[in-house]
Amino acid sequence: MAEKSVTIHSEPLKELVIARLTEVGTSLSDARTIADILVYADLRGIHSHGVLRTEHYTNRVRQGGINLQPNLSLQKRSCVTGIIDAGGGFGHTAAKRATESALSMAKEHGLGLVGVRNSSHCGSLGYYVDMALEEKMMCVCAVNTDSAVVPFGGTRPFFGTNPFAFGFPGEKDSILLDMATSEVAFGKIFYARENNTPIPDNWAVAEDGSPTTDPHKAFALFPFGGYKGFGINIMVEALTGLLIGGAYGPQIKSMYGDLSSLRNLAGFHLIIDPRLFGGENTFKTAQSMIDSLHSQPAAEESGEILIPGEIQRRNLEHSLREGIQIPASIYEFLSTGKTAE
């Protein structure tokens, strides 16, 4: 049976998240950043990376697994590269700082690449890509995570869900792809658990390595797209863990294991000014491609061709108008600080 839900608008929802985060010692500035990033996801229907994460963050802070006072200074490696050591702090503030730094480099030199090491969960990568798109910049972001995905042909988790996001601006529309390299993000499993709803049999395996439709029995995830998705899963690990962080797969500290341990995730934030090669005409060409895709015949008579990010933008418009639906148990925690029984 699906759990009851509560509908709430974005601003009061942010205030609830801020209240829960500041009561465990998070600075008001950091709490506002984190709340903005979490609600960004819920507004777009990406509930796996939304406010349901708040309770975990507060539990981790209480047990010492998130450093509330990291030094997020940028260490430049060249005029277009740099690295930020998050010091085990909130991944959201570190990733936002990295994106801001890469944007500054790209505005001056045409491109910027900033890595983040020793970070924790940073929320939806689409948020950081959107920061670049607002400045008419192309962006690629990626992050590694702890072991949660079985290798192609395997039964035990090795790499993480290893998400990446990509954005490219047109004159009026933009492409924004944000995806895990697992069949789904583990947050979707958590959301199914909160709602007590079954999951498709190609999402996850049980502890014995067999596919399961019970979210409560889900032990590890499948890579998306078989061996091709597994290959992209490895690519993200190389761009983050190998290039930036110095740790991979089983070496990454678990999100839901020892909550007293600081985490060591790595992030990759690359921003390129599209005008480098084609000038302002690049945006016109990108818009032409998007418009041409929209005009392609759909397989179903009532169907339409959408580009990555369009469904989320439509969800955003609906959520701003009608409010955001969240499970009652999550609302109970956000309102009271107590877990619903």
pLDDT score recorded for residue 2 = 57
Which residue stretches of the chain have pLDDT < 70? 1-3, 340-341
Taken in order of first residue, the domains within the chain and their CATH numbers are: 5-63+317-336 (1.10.1530.10), 74-183+222-276 (3.30.1370.60)
pLDDT score recorded for residue 62 = 97
Q: Please pick, among 109, 121, 294, 318, the residue that the annotation labels catalytic.
A: 121
How far is the C-alpha of 17 from the C-alpha of 35, rounded, in Å? 6
Catalytic: 294? no
144-169 burial, b at 16+ Cβ within 10 Å, e below that, comes to bbbbbbbbeeeeebbbbbbbbbbbbb
Summarize pLDDT for 239-261 with one digit per residue, the tens.
999 999 999 999 999 998 899 99
pTM of the model: 0.93
pLDDT score recorded for residue 339 = 74
pLDDT score recorded for residue 340 = 58
How far is the C-alpha of 191 from the C-alpha of 48, rounded, in Å? 6
pLDDT score recorded for residue 145 = 95
| Count of Cβ atoms closer than 10 Å to residue 120 Cβ | 24
**In angstroms, what CA-CA distances link 243 with 17, 124, 142, 170?**
34, 21, 12, 30
